[in-house]
Amino acid sequence: MAFPAQFLDELRARSSLPEVIGRRVQLRKKGREWEGLCPFHKEKTPSFTVNDEKGFYHCFGCGEHGSVFDFVMKTDGLSFPETVERLATDAGMQVPQDTPEERHRAERRQSLQDVCESACVWYERNLRMPEGKRALEYLRERGLSDDIITRFRLGFAPNGRNMLKAAMARENVPEGLLVETGMLIQPPNDRGGDDRGEGQRDSYDRFRGRVMFPIMDRRGQVIAFGGRILGDGEPKYLNSPETPIFHKGNVLYGLDHALSMAHKSGQMIVTEGYMDVIALYMAGFENAVAPLGTALTEGHLSALWRVVKEPVLCFDGDNAGQRAATRAAERALPQLKSGFGIRFAELPQGDDPDTLVRTRGRQAMQGVLDAALPLSEVLWRMESGGTMPRTPESRAALQQSLGAHANRIEDPTVRGHFLKAFKDRIWQSGATKTRQKSRYGNASPAYQTITGVDHRTRQSDSTVRCLKILLATLIAHPSLYDQVGERLGSLDFSNLGQKLDNLRQQALKTLAAESGLDYRGLANHLNGTGFADALDALENDHDLGDVFFVRTDAEPAAALCGWEEAYGLMQGKDLDFEIREAERLLAEDPTTENFQRLQSLKRQEFETSAGELADV
């Protein structure tokens, strides 16, 4: 039985080589490969390696080498058709039946691909003809070299209703196939027409007066086209319609060019348009792809995950790009599974990948990619606006909305990690992320309330204020001792002077010895042991005047949240100061170096503050 090449390619991509081989061989991860004892000969030292990215195994001891199909055939003694059947069952794929109908469909698909190839050659030729001069000038003005134009097989569709139709007729290409591929538009019959074709209106070229971008499948075969109009007019970009060989919800532009580099680097960049893909390719990012005139779909995500485990979505730095990122985040949730995710690269406002690499260079783009955020962080910013709510009620609402997102994840393991990470962040991470500034939200008023400082204030002032808040909150709410006592005891209080440091030590000693004390009981004990003046000075300190949760009438849950916020700020104060300084320098001097430094600091801030959330 002959299996379609496209089916075998997809089955190979869906069959994890380490997983299949791991059922028989105990494998250990080593760099980007796996190693184990060879199943084909006896050995004591591992010489058997598995390279999932390249899709083969190899034994340096006995020389055995092959694909996932070879391994199953050799270890299980199956024929090739039997191997395909087994792997397809494991991958949840239906094996095509070798029937006359299936053979006819395969032949039909090949015929349609041949038609697209003929049209592509004709468009390429036109670009170099006099009628294509304006289109060629446009491409060169966009910085495309002749080599890039040839590599991506760009062309030109002349501005005439029957130019392609006539050219294909001269090559004996049936008009019906041109209609089926979407290259020609067939208007409906006029009134009065009949089934014999009487009254049938003439077909005409779909693409006219446009720069042509051929769309390839993953094997590099032309299956459709996109066209950009020259000058004014709508639509600016026009794509082929859905056809038997082209389903835009499953096809990514540039995938045929990106596969090799994506396998090598382990990264795939997803952009919004043809020119973004080509511009990134010219800048050395040969692993970029783009959806085709539609939002990123479940089919696109599946195609990406077959190649890399965590593609990076890099949409334009405007409102439309933000909406696209939001839709992609929501669409990805149900499909998430262990080991697979997506990251989001945040472009500067008003930039797209094309403009960024042309105006600021490769390094600026690399900085954006290095600072890409995981899906969990994007969901956090979508719902929180980049701020940490100050009240228990608003925190509960935030946890509920984040939980609704997490509950859409079908994989129970991943869903559980998301729920736990969001909950921990709300109750433990405090305000560490409220400092983040991005298009998802601005700096939190809660952060400003606790610190009372901006980027020009000395860090020591912020440190002293936070330490006072931590001590005063525990004294006002002794019931928090079990949650915060150990951490408060480990902090350096030398900046506050000996009096407050002694007060802290006495309060912790008292609460450790006598459980169940309320504020009045703890205050009476401190007053009776010689700390009345220190306690009075702390409780009347002007630094605490606008901090509501240090009051004894505040809810304990709100006090705990406030304590965690202040503690979180203590842990991240140095990095926050650096970020604010970097923001100021970038505003004063918007150089590539200053932009990259800010992106790097933000990435560092995420990694240090998100903790477990960054690994989900």
At 380-436, the pLDDT tens digits run 888 887 777 777 778 888 988 999 999 999 988 899 899 888 887 887 544 443 333
Two tokens, residue 168? 């294909």
Beta bridge pairs of residue 228: 211, 237
Mind listing the pLDDT tens digit for each residue in 502-539? 899 999 999 988 878 899 999 999 988 899 989 988 98
The reported pLDDT for the residue numbered 109 is: 83
Of 135-139, 167-171, 418-422, the range with the lowest mean pLDDT is 418-422
Dihedral, CA of residue 480, residue 486, residue 489 and residue 490, to nearest 10: -140
Highest mean pLDDT pick, 20-24, 190-194, 425-429: 20-24
Average pLDDT value over all residues in the chain: 83
Quickly count: other Cβ atoms within 10 Å of residue 89's Cβ.
Answer: 11
The confidence band for 194, taking pLDDT boundaries of 50, 70 and 90, is low
Return the minimum-mean-pLDDT range out of 171-180, 206-215, 427-436, 589-598.
427-436
What is the CATH number assigned to the segment(s) 5-91?
Answer: 3.90.580.10
Query: Across 122-131, 485-494, 596-605, which has the greatest mean pLDDT?
Result: 122-131
Decide which of 2.40.33.10, 3.90.320.10, 3.40.50.2000, 3.40.1360.10 is the CATH code for 255-370: 3.40.1360.10
Q: Is 478 exposed, middle or buried (0-12, 13-18, 19+ CB in 10 A)?
A: buried
Q: How many CB atoms lie within 10 A of CB 361?
A: 12
The DSSP code sequence of 102-169 is HHHHHHHHHHHHHHHHHHHHHHHHHHTSGGGHHHHHHHHHTT--HHHHHHTT-EEE-S-TTHHHHHHH
Q: Which of 286, 273, 307, 316 is nearest to 142 (CA)?
A: 273
Interval 85-116: pLDDT, tens: 889 888 888 787 666 776 777 788 889 999 99
pLDDT tens digits, one per residue of 551-575: 888 888 778 877 877 777 766 544 5
Cis upstream peptide for 130 (omega within 30°) = no
In whole angstroms, give the CA distance from residue 517 to residue 485. 14
- Cβ atoms < 10 Å from Cβ of 91: 14
- Both tokens of 334, joined, read 């149900």
Query: How far is it, in rounded angstroms, from Cα 566 to Cα 553?
Result: 19
Q: Whole-angstrom Cα distance, residue 139 to residue 336? A: 39
Q: Where are the domains of the chain?
A: 5-91, 100-187+202-239, 255-370, 445-609
- Is pLDDT at 193 greater than 70 in this prediction? no
3-state secondary structure of 218: coil
The better pLDDT of the pair 133, 614 is held by 133
Q: Is residue 180 scored above 80 in pLDDT?
A: yes
Token code pair at residue 322: 């933000």
- Cα 9 to the center of its chain, rounded Å: 25
Q: How far apart are CA 344 and CA 325, in angstroms?
A: 7
| CATH code, residues 445-609 | 1.10.860
Residue appearing with tokens 């004709």? 122
How far apart (Å, rounded) are the C-alpha atoms in residues 101 and 90?
26
pTM of this structure: 0.60
- Which of the two residues, 1 and 442, has the higher pLDDT score? 1
* pLDDT tens per residue across span 274-327: 999 999 999 999 999 999 877 888 889 988 987 888 999 998 777 777 788 888
Name beta bridge partners: 213.
Answer: 226
Please give the C-alpha separations between residue 227 and each of 32, 107, 120, 536, in angstroms, as whole numbers.
39, 27, 12, 75
Under the banding of pLDDT at 50, 70 and 90, the label for residue 78 is confident
Orientation angle between helical segments 556-588 and 592-610, nearest 10 degrees: 170
DSSP letter at 427? Answer: I
- The CATH T-level fold of domain 100-187+202-239 is DNA primase DNAg catalytic core, N-terminal domain (3.90.980)
Q: Is the dihedral of CA 154, 159, 162, 167 positive or negative?
A: negative
Q: How far apart are CA 435 and CA 412, in angstroms?
A: 32
Q: How far apart are CA 272 and CA 294, in angstroms?
A: 9
